[in-house]
Chains A and B, each alone.
Chain A
Amino acid sequence: MAKLLSIRDLKIDIPKEALLLADKMLKDLESSKRPVLEAVKTSLDNSLYNSKLGYLTPGDKVVRTELNVSSVQKLARVVFVLEILLRNLEIGSVNTKRELYYMCKGLIKGNSRLRALDFDDQPESDAIIDFIGDMLEVYREELNCFANDRGGQTYSQQLVVTETMPDGDKAIVDLSSLGTSPFQPKNKPQALRLKAKKKIDFCLIVESEGTANTLVTMGFTKRNNCIVMGAQGVPSNAVRGWSKLIQDELDVPMYFFGDLDAYTMQNIFRTLKAGSAASLIRNSDFSAPNVKFLGVLPEDVKTYDLPHYKVRESDPVEARALKKAKDALENDPFFLDKKNKKLSDILRWLIKEKIRCEQQSFFSVDPRDPIKTEKIILEKIKRGSYI
């Protein structure tokens, strides 16, 4: 099978690195020394933010796992899964995390001596795969472990995508020729090259897939030289890598249009713009720092008299989002940075007012005009009403 196109220009050779690591562990054991595995600590307290760079990067903190009676199970599992992943790399086979979970189960089932390693549930094997990625500082895709490509459906009359296939062939996709179908980006942005048939004025990333579809169906992409993308909630790796690609290759203004609430601001918009604490080692390729927050902005609620709701603090999900927002204002380097003060002001406003306003509320402004939302979006872009 042909070797898969690499995600980025890897500085390390994974099989070689893994071999060195295993050899070191074995040597330690031979001399009765405790082997230690170290992985980047992927949490907010180890996240740094530099507004010039625009995304969250890892600090110096590491998670050390030293061999002892309590950790011997984890280490045995790490080495066991590592062996499977190395084999996948060798033969060019790819899998999802769920498939890997079942592959582990299959191998354990066939060998009674391995029974103690068995995973009760997928989160257990996922944690081991993530640890291996953090330890080698590589993306899971570089370990040939792919996620399904959720979200990112893209519409444009001007965009042309050239994809380099695993066998070296090239596929050219003109988005204007797809009819009503969107282009679905795969999570290997480096295999794609973008070109504009005509100057593209902006890219609009809509939180709700449904609303993106409505805008396009009503002619948004026909009337405007633009790209419209549906994010489908928290952006997946595919959406994040695709957004980064659009930013780098086309250099067009990018706007995010979503709900006005603490969850959207922290989990959706922040992840799209600057990456997340859980994916510290990959934020450089999976975030688009140029994306602006078009709304819904607090001022829009007033300007357009948008219907909004009180946050129900009795609802554990909403209460947690508010608590996380307070936390973010104190601990999240992205919101602590002066450059993002206007964004953190929105969080502060949300905590104070305890209200939420959805992106679809724009449809209340003039219910008889089917393209009123488009008009508002364009007006806001023209006015510079974004952050």
Chain B
Amino acid sequence: MSKITKSSTAEYFAKNLQQVGFSSPLKAVLTTLKEAVDNSLDACESAGILPDLLVEIAKVGIGSTKNTDLIRIVVEDNGPGIDSEDIAKVYGEYLASSKFGRGQCSRGQQGIGISAATTWAQMTNARGVNVISKTKKMRKAMSAQVDVDIKSNTGILKKKETLDWDRDCGTRVEFILDGRIQLNGDGGLLTYIEGTVLVNPHLTMTYKLVENDFVTVNRVSTEVPEIPEATLPHPHTFKLGEFITHSTLFGKTTLSKFLKTGFSRISDQSISDFVKQGMPKNLIEKSVSSLSEEDFKKAFMAVQATNLMPPSTKSVLTVGEEALSKSITRLGEVDFFAVVTRKPCICDFKPVVVEVALARFKDRHQTGDSSVQLLRFANRVPLQFDKSGCAITWAIESVNWKAYGLQQPKDSLPLGPYIFAISIVSPFIKFKNASKETIDASDELVSEIRLALIQAGQKLSRHIRKEVKEADLERKLAHIEQFGPILVECLARIVNAPEARKKRAEEGLRKLLGRDSEEAIADLEAAESKLLEQKIREKKKGVGRDEIEIDIISSSDLVEEASQPQGTKKTTTTKKTTSKKST
């Protein structure tokens, strides 16, 4: 018989990096960026700091793996920083997380992602991640290289040193790894950055991608989203094994107390309902530590058979229609848009909130006959791969967009120069895989997303209808001018009519068609006033469009500085600010 060996979590992930988003050199770069940005944003949010992020991605050489480049990925934030003793854990140890299973809507959950990025860098370039971090308590920043010790699943610090950093707190990570860069398209870095910018209105980000100039996108909201406290789990989301394990956290408490304090939505009334559903009465006051598996099973089955109030929706957060509508203007010059934030609701016994932003842009070079650009988000993290299996895609395809004035091939995404951004926030999003690329499509979730899309579609259709009416009027006016004279001329020729008759007929024709165009004008006015009503309603809700600013910093100004941590060198840079006014 072969020998049974036990391997560490790090060993498992090192062998299965494809499961967590490192399945190709292209995805490796994107996933690394994503994990680093997620960590920065989560850290800022938990410390109540408005995030300022610097992202820099550059090719620095040829990769050791075939057909790859050596890529440097830098993400720097103004977050709370990491204590010196935690740095090795955060970057070098799998499943070391401050958020695991808390039931909050944070971006990261398990503590796998960033350690996997370190592993990828270590495996392809023989060096882990370089971290500089400073908390408010520290006088000097700490710099170190973190590697993963695969055998023991622990982080190892190398080249540890301290340095002056002219800021209160913050973290800078630098990965150098084998990968490939794609900027645009579904899996593109730019698409990721745009998505992140869209759903984080409070974020200011400066980024430099490859040879391009530095771009700064300023925040449009000064409110740090408050992540709601986690609520207790709902018993209907549990399985028997989990139920028993959960009870061990409560030691010697009675079953009734365990049920009431360990779960949400269980009251004294519910306990007596459980008894009605077959839970032995004598178990109620028994200590959970003395219950047998059989007892647990009886209690669990009774709980499952009882109707309980659905869980609270307080644990979800939204970006909000106002912030979303401001944020959307940061992606380009918007022609028109519609945003919808649904009220939080319960899908599959989990609180969920769906937000939708549909926008048409003037300058994004999208063509009318290609599919809309789809941006999917789960807990404010862009999902960029495998869209066909995702609940969001299913929901979009199930809507009849033709009713709202968009073209749509059967069972497909609609066509046109639009961005469809759909965000799902929930403390318990069910992903199809560990790399969090696709949301599992349950009927309830799909229909909730569908409702949000329909509401947004209705708003959008008012804009489109107005355009259609405008085009209709234009076409009608052109028709009168083009065909009227031909009709009269041909008729006059056939009957050999004198000039006077021809003139009279021309005048009569003008009168007739004038009446028609008046009708078309009235139609257009009706469509316009409907749209105006919608705009007034939105303005009352604070969903309007303000002036926005996009800073463009010339690369020649910053190219030297970029390779250094921000603030380590005092250089004055000149910013060329262009201000864009959206109409």
Contacts and interface: CB of A to CB of B under 8 A. Distances in A.
Contact of B487 (A19, A32, A68, A72): A72
Contacts of B507: 32
Interface in B478-520: 479-480, 482-488, 490-495, 497, 501, 504-509, 511-513, 516-517, 520
Nearest to A31: B508
A26 B492 contact: yes
Contact of A26 (B480, B486, B501, B516): B501
Interface stretch (A110-118, A221-229, A279-287): A110-118
Contact of A116 (B483, B488, B492, B506): B483
Interface in A137-186: none
A23 B497 CA distance: 9
A22 B494 contact: yes
Contact of A34 (B504, B505, B512): B512
Contacts of A13: none
Which bucket holds chain B's interface residue count? 20 to 34
Which bucket holds chain A's interface residue count? 20 to 34
B476 interface: yes
Nearest to B516: A69
A46 B451 CA distance: 44
Interface in A53-98: 67-70, 72-73, 75-76, 79-80, 82-83, 86
A317 interface: no
A99 to B, nearest CB: 20
A80 B482 CA distance: 14
Contacts of B497: 26
A84 to B, nearest CB: 10
A9 interface: no
A29 B490 CA distance: 13
Contact of B511 (A19, A32, A73, A79): A32
Interface in A210-247: none
A114 B490 CA distance: 11
B509 A70 contact: no
A65 B513 CA distance: 15
A120 interface: no
Given A23-B495, A79-B491, A69 B509 contact: no
A22 B508 contact: no
Nearest to A32: B508
Contacts of B505: 26, 29-30
A113 B520 contact: no
B509 A73 contact: no
B494 A76 contact: no
Contacts of B482: 73, 116
Given A29-B488, A30-B501, A69 B517 contact: yes
A31 B507 CA distance: 9
A26 B509 CA distance: 10
A23 B495 CA distance: 6
Contacts of B508: 28-33
Contact of A83 (B494, B511, B520): B494
A69 B520 contact: yes
Contacts of A75: 483, 487
Given A26-B501, A70-B476, A83 B493 contact: yes
Given A19-B494, A22-B494, A29-B505, A79 B487 contact: yes
A311 interface: no
Nearest to B477: A69
A67 B509 CA distance: 9
Contact of B486 (A28, A69, A80): A80
Given A113-B485, A117-B483, A79 B512 contact: no
Nearest to B493: A83
A22 B486 contact: no
A33 B507 CA distance: 11
Interface string B61-93: 000000000000000000000000000000000
Interface string A32-55: 111000000000000000000000
Contacts of B493: 83
Contacts of B483: 72-73, 75-76, 116-117
B486 A67 contact: no
A70 B479 CA distance: 8
Contacts of A33: 508, 512
Given A29-B508, A32-B508, A79-B487, A72 B501 contact: no
Contacts of A25: 491
A350 B483 CA distance: 50
A68 B476 CA distance: 9
A148 B83 CA distance: 91
A67 B512 contact: yes
B486 A114 contact: yes
A145 B490 CA distance: 21
A128 interface: no
Contacts of A29: 488, 491, 504-506, 508-509, 512
A18 interface: yes
A88 B488 CA distance: 21
A83 B494 CA distance: 7
Most B CB within 10 A of own CB, among A18, A19, A69, A113: A69
B513 A69 contact: yes
A76 B478 CA distance: 14
Given A26-B488, A73-B479, A76-B487, 19 more contacts: A22-B491, A25-B491, A26-B492, A29-B488, A32-B507, A34-B512, A68-B513, A68-B516, A69-B476, A69-B480, A69-B516, A69-B517, A72-B483, A76-B486, A76-B490, A79-B487, A80-B490, A83-B490, A114-B486
28 contacts: A18-B494, A22-B495, A26-B491, A26-B505, A28-B508, A29-B488, A30-B504, A30-B505, A30-B508, A32-B511, A33-B508, A34-B512, A67-B512, A69-B516, A72-B484, A72-B513, A73-B482, A75-B483, A75-B487, A76-B484, A76-B486, A76-B490, A79-B490, A79-B491, A79-B494, A82-B494, A83-B490, A117-B486
Interface of B: 476, 479-480, 482-488, 490-495, 497, 501, 504-509, 511-513, 516-517, 520
The 7 A-B pairs with the shortest beta carbon distances in the complex, nearest first, are A116-B482, A29-B505, A69-B516, A69-B476, A22-B494, A76-B483, A79-B490
